[in-house]
Chain A
């Protein structure tokens, strides 16, 4: 928590990955010691509309001499994401982070399996990059609506030491199946841990599967956020004990066992 800072980052590169998704490379003057699963609050607006920053998972980060270069993968869905898509290179954006609790990669056993759905890819990709560095072998399942929305396939192939399995809802690439159904079909008994990010229905299915298989699952949730730093209580998630926890602080990565039924 003490590592978090609010700083201006400069947009140095953008690449279109699909009709609605793009990658942003940003450089910031101070360190950004983000762990996979952590996020930043990004502010692009000089006026009161849009008013609030938006949360984005860090997809990867590299220290520079004094600061850091980091990557975000963004899907255009509304005001701020549209602004990010059209922001000229060299522009400054406000970046507050790193925030929240990421995946616990040190305790995910000998062969974790990673699952990404749609624009849930960024934290999973960052986790994959980190596991590769740590020399941990793992498989990765990645599903999207259709072929163009399966982002960065060749990069993912390179990073994943074990199997990288792709599927689409419409069958335009890989099997036509939900990624969680495919994971169930191809489940290996050596899977020691499950890490996932994606839409809520997918995460519910992941949590059910993990429980059936007796494997711990960590889920990166995406709740709407206002502050990102634990003071508004807008982003809460219901826990198994019936209390609400701010997902920007206690999450966004939760163990499935911590969460209330159907959270």
Chain B
């Protein structure tokens, strides 16, 4: 028997596999393939104070071993989430991490204040790293000063864990990570998508409507691993949630070794709607084969040359 239970800071998780924001709907869309309560946690699509329409189309294009998206945070808004979705998630006893998005500090606060009135939320993940919206998001994620002020402003609003999801596009991801932790973040999720461009040679135009988009999938795994390890080395006390191109149990192990306490599976769900569960099963099988009795043994276990 492998012990899969783990923790991210103070938050206990039944296993280290989470569904990533924006790739699993609000947690109830794939019940027939991957019930949310089977996972360590589900991270919701980014929620804003009001519903958002999102970006024009085309929004996605496949690239070698990856995809570029520019969804623009289309979402149903925090109110509809609380009334239409959360009660069922609660009933199913799913561990719910709500991904929060705002264009201003006040908007982030509005979303959290509304969610504070609800039970059944395990943590907040602040999306300060979306490459696909003009305002908010990435601005906070690129500037340590802005981010420190944002986290400090939100910190008093809740006792629940505050995770900050970092942008790999920041001029200095390390400086941003340090700012988040200093201001009171309980954990860091890394990483969001990499700003990228796909060109259609025939039309001489970008493949997606907004020009730039965010690259995800196996193509970014080595880059994401590098960032997780760098941040883990620099701030070893900060709990990390690793993400970027995880398709298999071994991929998950690699992120744990680089210092992540848990991992999120994103784009893989698009290829296989039960990807989170196969990654979990493969992780367990890996531990069995390798004689790992407690998955937490792996965390930060990378042997650096």
Contact = CB atoms under 8 A, between A and B. Distances in A.
Nearest to B57: A236
A237 B269 contact: no
B269 A236 contact: no
Interface string A211-241: 0000000000001111101111111111000
B108 to A, nearest CB: 21
A41 to B, nearest CB: 9
A234 B25 CA distance: 12
Contact of B67 (A6, A52, A242): A52
B60 interface: yes
B273 A51 contact: no
Contacts of A6: 33, 272-274
B235 interface: no
Interface in B35-72: 45, 53-54, 56-62, 64-67, 69, 71
A155 interface: no
Nearest to A229: B273
B270 A52 contact: yes
Interface size classification for chain A: 20 to 34
Nearest to A1: B32
Interface residues of B, number: 36
A51 B271 contact: yes
Q: Mostly helix, strand, loop or mixed at chain A's interface?
A: loop
A6 B25 CA distance: 19
A237 B270 contact: no
A229 B54 contact: no
Q: Is the interface of B mostly helix, strand, loop or mixed?
A: loop
B23 interface: yes
B302 interface: no
16 contacts: A51-B271, A52-B67, A94-B272, A223-B57, A226-B60, A226-B67, A226-B267, A230-B25, A230-B29, A231-B29, A232-B23, A233-B54, A233-B59, A234-B69, A236-B74, A244-B74
Contacts of A238: 56-57
A231 B30 contact: yes
Of residues B56, B62, B247, B269, which shows the largest number of chain A Cβ atoms within 10 Å of its Cβ? Answer: B62
B217 A232 contact: no
Given A2-B32, A6-B33, A236-B74, A231 B65 contact: no
Interface in A127-162: none
Contacts of A94: 272
Contacts of A242: 53
A74 B219 CA distance: 28
A46 to B, nearest CB: 11
